Amino acid sequence: MATFLDELVAGDFEQVNIVRDAMSDIGSIVAIHDTTMGPSLGGVRMRPYPTHEDAARDAMALARAMTYKSALAGLNLGGGKSVINAEPTAENKARFLPVLAKHIASMGGRYIPGADMGTDAADMDVLAKHVPVVSCRRDPSPSTARGVFRAVVETLRWTGAGDLAGRRIAVQGLGKVGRALVMFLREAGAEVLVADIDDRRTTEARDVAGAVPVAIQDILTADVDVLCPCAAGGVLTPDVIDHLRTGVIVPGANNPLEHDAQAAVLQERGVVYVPDFVANAGGVIVAEAEVRGSDDTIEDRIETIAATTVEILDTAQRSGTDTVSVAYRVARDRLASHATARPTFPAVP
């Protein structure tokens, strides 16, 4: 049976770094998937994992998704990610972030960190004391949510369901992206069902936006027109898919499928699935503009998420292939077309 090290050697990653430091006792992974298009960009995720191997697998899956997300969004960036295997407390951040920052600085511009689950703009300011280029020093979540919203709108139109007015949408997870998405959906006239592990968030969504709270164990299988997972990855398990009561899934979360092969199962069952790395690219679009020092094209690029969504859906329908396979193929074609012009490092924004 193949070991995790065997998988690493056989995989398509350029670099996977284990960050250790005896003084702080940090447990961190930095994964660089591909730098064909430019320096790898991806957030610093801070959360506890059952094992360090689980942390490494998450970093790698997220880094790979960032490669394809950037390629499909037309950005000159590669895919990377880092995780810190710890609760995101103030004490842990004070111990671990400077250590991680110094390690990232030693990578010669190959990886640009940003905010992610468990970290924020203030944490990026800490990293910036050691790392020359840092993204997400402003919150990218509204732009991520805007891209997901545009993907929802275009997918409903593509299915013939029309606009959002009166449609039932389930949003699982009310972090920054989920909360912003709820507001966009409600403003467009949708009925929105919400759930989060923190009851205070669902109460806020009810009181502020008029959303309908449901039990966390019921949200993924609610009877809705569109399901938007916006929390941690891997929530669309075989059991959940067996009990789905929606015809459309548009994720705000990264890697919501437990395995990519489940996209084919969804296709066979007539569920329209927009790949997460298509729908939630608004955040990386903002991050790219930030590191390049230009905001001029942000809105136009976020609007292209809608066009890319339709392109993927049309191609999948014509070819009889699931949408994830189609999106990977389009992204890999773009990477292949740029392979001979691979940048050198250190990269200059």
Q: pLDDT tens across 92-109, in order?
A: 999 999 999 999 999 999
Q: Do domains 13-67+77-127 and 141-333 have the same CATH topology?
A: yes
Neighbours of 80 (CB within 10 A): 32
68 vs 337: CA distance, rounded Å: 14
Superfamily name with CATH number, domain 141-333? NAD(P)-binding Rossmann-like Domain (3.40.50.720)
Superfamily name with CATH number, domain 13-67+77-127? Leucine Dehydrogenase, chain A, domain 1 (3.40.50.10860)
Domains of the chain, residue spans? 13-67+77-127, 141-333
- pTM of the complete model beyond 0.85: yes
Mean of pLDDT over the chain:
92
Closest CA to 55 of 63, 47, 43: 47
Average pLDDT over residues 297-323: 94
pLDDT score of 58: 92
Asked which of 155-169, 309-323, 332-346 is least confident by mean pLDDT, the reply is 332-346
> Which residues have a catalytic role annotated?
81
Average pLDDT over residues 129-156: 92
Q: Is the dihedral of CA 12, 98, 88, 144 positive or negative?
A: negative
Q: What is the pLDDT of residues 250-284, one digit of tens each?
A: 999 999 999 999 999 999 999 999 999 999 999 99
Q: Is 144 helix (H, G, I), strand (E, B) or coil?
A: helix
Q: Is the dihedral of CA 40, 277, 157, 184 positive or negative?
A: negative
